[in-house]
Chain A
Amino acid sequence: MADLKVIPVETDVLIIGGGLAGCMAAINAAGEEGVRVTLAEKSNTMASGCAGSGIDHLWSYIPEVHEPMGYTLEDMAEDHRQGIAYGLFRRDLFMLVASTMYDRMLDLERFGINFRYEDSITPGKFRVVPQFHSVPASFNFDGAPLKVKLTGEMRRRKVNIINRVQMTDLITSNGQVSGAVGVDTRTADIYFFKAKAVILSTGRSNRLGRNLRSPDFNTRIPSSMSGDGTVLAYRAGLPIVSIEFMSGGAGIGAAGNYGPNYGGVRNTVQPAARIVDGEGNIIVPRIQFFDWANLGKEKWTPSVRQKWLEERKAERSPQGEGGMAAMHNTGGGPFYLDFAEATDYEAEYIEWSIKNEGLGTQFMRYFKEEEGLDLRKNAQEYVGFFGGREISANAAKGLWVDKDLETTDLKNLFAAGDEVAGLNWSSGPGAVVQGWHAGGMAAKRASAQKALLPASEEPVKARKQMCSDILNRKRGFYWKEIEIGVQDIMDFYCGSVRSERLLSRGLDRLEDAKAAQMKADNPHELARSLDVKSIIDNAELVLRSSRERKETRLSPAGFRRADYPEQDDENWLCFLGIRKENGEFKFTKYPVDK
């Protein structure tokens, strides 16, 4: 095999991860005069990340709607702290998102995204729907072309977009980030970046358990996401926070193995939906469609929050929708998501919303074009899908940052979106707001720095050697074998109910995966092998952090310990960070905001 080429790139702001957060960061950073901005993306910014093929909601404080109700930012913060984060909350991160998402919505409008509708009767002509908070507070919008529009805006601002590069290492100099290493997924060229400031925005960690919702890469969140950013930071010695809150595994969802990701029946996609059983009995009734005529007219009081918290609790109870899996496992079912009671307008609205989110576009193509089905005539069945394990919105896993999104452990390293720890369900708004903010901060920091810091070539050489080894060896495991092996370990030793003994045994078994030598016949397979390296490291951190959190905490992410079956707020109402220092794992507790 030919000697791998090293491509040097010098820039001011390097953004790692071109999803929603990374693109917003690049756009804002590029607005700063004289700042060179480079964005490194593993696939292509046009269609990458959780918002790759669309996103249909963005939550926000919306003054036109909320001020007349007397619903304040502080009320929204408290909704989020109690009803979404269950106490694991960073108030400063919430306030940044909630208070500036509206301004970012105006920016997205300028970039060509539509938020206003002629038939809307809400202030601002928005489609504002309930989603995460005790009052409607989410923009429902035409989010399908989001990444395409953002890519266009980046090009207009002359961002240097490098697609098809998988980032593997950070380079540091005296406590400051000074560069990074990446591998081209099509040529195996090694990228040697030097930068004044770096933003990590690679999003969530996926593929941590077997996806029995076949085919294998038919996962809920994009299958290309292997938690690379987490691993970059971890390899540089930074703490990773809340990684014990990996979720997923056995579950039940509408449209079964297709999994268009509707969320629950009260998810804003389907207020007109009901859940019925095979005999037509209504298990969960439909509710009133969005009450836009009254939006903003009723006064908010703390009793609204109380009622909302009680409703959420009921939804998760065995009698609520959350109990369908339990009902199925004791011989109940089948269950169907049924739109029979939806009006023409409601059906059209729901289809529009589905098409704008993630897998929804392709799902509707399958449903309507391939199968010739109709939303109201053909109920969608809740089929048990054993979704692969992921570390997602309810975990809020990632880097510990200050209020301006700079990591507390490495100067000039910023994080944005699902790369940031401490704000559950930050999701789309988190990515949009934090990306923008981190981009601005990083650009100012880079502007103020005259020269690049030294960036050692050692990590570049090491990564080049490692990649060459994988490409050159005659015998070795195919990446997929190792991935399946690691997923089996996670499913067996780190399942829904964990224990010290099982977690420890899982860590022993994982050593085999770490030692296994992979072989790749081409750069694509090499890239998948690098995915697996990330998956292994994420898995190790999950096992170790799970073992360290000695309690059970059902909300927000269903963390259960057989050996510590009670919630222990006195010792564990905190964020837990894990890092590796001189070969040893160390833990830090970070405080929650009250």
Chain B
Amino acid sequence: MGYNHIYFSEELCDGCNVCVDICPCDLFEANPEKGKPPIVRYPEECWFDGSCITLCPHKGAIEIITPFPMRGAFIRT
């Protein structure tokens, strides 16, 4: 698998597919297996609004690892 930055927890995600329904860029696909996390079909089309996390009913089910080019413009102490 190539580039991806969106990860689902198999334990916390119940396949409700709210994230699939609301993603403004339509980058998810519902898993053909009911109850399983969605498939991240078009990760390169993400706008990073985080609505998937905000509107997910299960805290911690979705995690975004920010892509490398977007990281690091800070002074670390």
Interface residues of A (CB under 8 A from B): 43-44, 46-49, 52-53, 144, 148, 163-164, 185-186, 213-219, 222-224, 255-258, 336, 358-359, 361-362, 365-367, 370-371, 373, 377-383, 524, 527-528
User: Once the chains bind, are B74 and A44 in contact (CB under 8 Å)?
Assistant: no
User: Once the chains bind, are B25 and A223 in contact (CB under 8 Å)?
Assistant: yes
Closest approach, in angstroms, between the C-beta of A468 and any C-beta of chain B?
21
Assuming A43-B24, A255-B73, A380-B74, is B55 touching A359 (CB within 8 A)? Answer: no
Rounded to whole angstroms, the CA-CA distance of A48 and B69 in the bound complex is 25
| Extra pairs beyond A362-B50, A380-B74, A528-B45 (10, CB < 8 Å) | A43-B24, A219-B47, A222-B49, A359-B50, A361-B54, A362-B64, A370-B66, A371-B74, A373-B76, A379-B75
Main secondary structure of the interface of B (DSSP, over half): loop
Main secondary structure of the interface of A (DSSP, over half): loop
User: Once the chains bind, are A47 and B64 in contact (CB under 8 Å)?
Assistant: no
Pick from A258, A358, A378, A524: contact of B26, CB under 8 Å: A524
Q: What are 24 A-B interface contacts by the 8 Å CB criterion?
A: A43-B22, A47-B23, A52-B24, A52-B49, A185-B26, A213-B69, A215-B67, A218-B46, A219-B47, A222-B47, A222-B49, A256-B72, A336-B75, A359-B48, A362-B48, A362-B49, A362-B64, A366-B66, A370-B65, A379-B74, A380-B73, A380-B74, A381-B74, A524-B41
- B51-73 interface code vs A (CB 8 A; 1 in, 0 out): 10111000000001111011111
B47 / chain A contacts, CB cutoff of 8 Å: 217-219, 222-224, 359
A216 / chain B contacts, CB cutoff of 8 Å: 44
- Let me know if B21 is at the binding interface, CB within 8 A: yes
> A336: nearest residue on chain B (CB-CB)?
B75
User: Once the chains bind, are A43 and B23 in contact (CB under 8 Å)?
Assistant: yes
Closest 6 CB pairs of A and B: A362-B50, A256-B73, A47-B51, A214-B69, A381-B73, A53-B49
Interface residues of B in 1-47 (CB under 8 A from A): 3, 21-26, 41-42, 44-47
Assuming A44-B24, A48-B24, A223-B47, is B77 touching A524 (CB within 8 A)? Answer: no
B48 / chain A contacts, CB cutoff of 8 Å: 218, 359, 362
Rounded to whole angstroms, the CA-CA distance of A256 and B75 in the bound complex is 12
B70 / chain A contacts, CB cutoff of 8 Å: 214-215, 218, 256-258, 366
A381 / chain B contacts, CB cutoff of 8 Å: 73-75
Closest approach, in angstroms, between the C-beta of B17 and any C-beta of chain A?
12
B55 / chain A contacts, CB cutoff of 8 Å: 46-47, 148
Closest approach, in angstroms, between the C-beta of A256 and any C-beta of chain B?
3
Closest approach, in angstroms, between the C-beta of B34 and any C-beta of chain A?
18
> B67: nearest residue on chain A (CB-CB)?
A215
A256 / chain B contacts, CB cutoff of 8 Å: 70, 72-73
Assuming A47-B22, A215-B44, A217-B44, is B67 touching A378 (CB within 8 A)? Answer: no
User: Once the chains bind, are B73 and A224 in contact (CB under 8 Å)?
Assistant: no
Rounded to whole angstroms, the CA-CA distance of A52 and B54 in the bound complex is 11
Assuming A47-B23, A224-B24, A378-B75, is B69 touching A257 (CB within 8 A)? Answer: yes
B54 / chain A contacts, CB cutoff of 8 Å: 53, 144, 361
Closest approach, in angstroms, between the C-beta of A164 and any C-beta of chain B?
7
User: Once the chains bind, are A52 and B73 in contact (CB under 8 Å)?
Assistant: no
Closest approach, in angstroms, between the C-beta of B56 and any C-beta of chain A?
12
Closest approach, in angstroms, between the C-beta of B57 and any C-beta of chain A?
13
Closest approach, in angstroms, between the C-beta of B72 and any C-beta of chain A?
8
Pick from A144, A217, A365, A382: contact of B45, CB under 8 Å: A217
> B65: nearest residue on chain A (CB-CB)?
A370
Closest approach, in angstroms, between the C-beta of B61 and any C-beta of chain A?
14
Closest approach, in angstroms, between the C-beta of A189 and any C-beta of chain B?
15
Rounded to whole angstroms, the CA-CA distance of A217 and B3 in the bound complex is 14
Closest approach, in angstroms, between the C-beta of A567 and any C-beta of chain B?
36
> B66: nearest residue on chain A (CB-CB)?
A366
User: Once the chains bind, are B65 and A378 in contact (CB under 8 Å)?
Assistant: no
B44 / chain A contacts, CB cutoff of 8 Å: 215-217
User: Which one of B46, B47, B51, B71 has the greatest number of beta carbons of chain A within 10 Å?
Assistant: B47
User: Once the chains bind, are B73 and A383 in contact (CB under 8 Å)?
Assistant: yes
Pick from A362, A377, A378, A524: contact of B42, CB under 8 Å: A524
Pick from B25, B64, B67: contact of A365, CB under 8 Å: B64
B25 / chain A contacts, CB cutoff of 8 Å: 43, 217, 223-224
A524 / chain B contacts, CB cutoff of 8 Å: 26, 41-42
Rounded to whole angstroms, the CA-CA distance of A49 and B65 in the bound complex is 24
Closest approach, in angstroms, between the C-beta of A335 and any C-beta of chain B?
11
Closest approach, in angstroms, between the C-beta of A355 and any C-beta of chain B?
10
User: Which one of A44, A49, A219, A370 has the greatest number of beta carbons of chain B within 10 Å?
Assistant: A44
> A215: nearest residue on chain B (CB-CB)?
B67
> A382: nearest residue on chain B (CB-CB)?
B73
User: Once the chains bind, are A47 and B73 in contact (CB under 8 Å)?
Assistant: no
User: Once the chains bind, are A362 and B67 in contact (CB under 8 Å)?
Assistant: no
B72 / chain A contacts, CB cutoff of 8 Å: 256
Rounded to whole angstroms, the CA-CA distance of A218 and B72 in the bound complex is 16
Assuming A53-B54, A164-B26, A380-B73, is B46 touching A215 (CB within 8 A)? Answer: yes
